[in-house]
Amino acid sequence: MKVLNLRCAHGHGFEGWFGSESEFEAQRDGGQIECPLCGDKAVVKGLSAPRLNLGAGRKEPPAADVPVPMPEQSPEARWMRAVRDVLARTEDVGDRFAQEARRMHHGEVEERGIRGRATPEEAVALLDEGIAVLPLPVPAALKETLQ
């Protein structure tokens, strides 16, 4: 006997037992083989035996048995969360950062948390004017999801 892994045109895999490959071909050509899932008769042969159970159908161990690392506790996760927090509480003003920071400093607009891009020169100028700016290296992953 030969175990053949078969596949229908819809991608359903199933097994067929045949005396030989030529028997399979004869049965297929005679329309005697059909997919047990959808009845499709356009069946092709996949990789043939030896039978190897590569974990198909094996139950995953219950989650409780697996030591799950606590991502919240890693320094990276704490940093990510802190950055996320800042991002959530600040308004992204983009390239207008220096301008907005000055306007707030001079009371032209209400003080609020802003973030944005400033060149090193702009940042230095702001600091010179007594405007507090902080560099915030935002992880690239967060930038992509939040901006």
Q: How many residues bind Zn ion (CB under 5 A)?
A: 7
Q: What is the rounded distance in angstroms from the CA atom of residue 102 to the CA atom of residue 131?
A: 7
Q: What is the rounded distance in angstroms from the CA atom of residue 14 to the CA atom of residue 40?
A: 12
- Which residue in 38, 77, 109, 146 binds Zn ion (CB under 5 A)? 38
Establish if 12 lies at the interface with Zn ion (CB under 5 A). yes
Site for Zn ion in 88-147 (CB under 5 A): none
Establish if 42 lies at the interface with Zn ion (CB under 5 A). no
Residues 6+ apart with CB under 8 A from 113: 86, 89, 90, 91
User: Closer CB to Zn ion, residue 37 or residue 127?
Assistant: 37
User: Closer CB to Zn ion, residue 42 or residue 82?
Assistant: 42
User: Closer CB to Zn ion, residue 14 or residue 138?
Assistant: 14
3-class secondary structure, 33 = coil
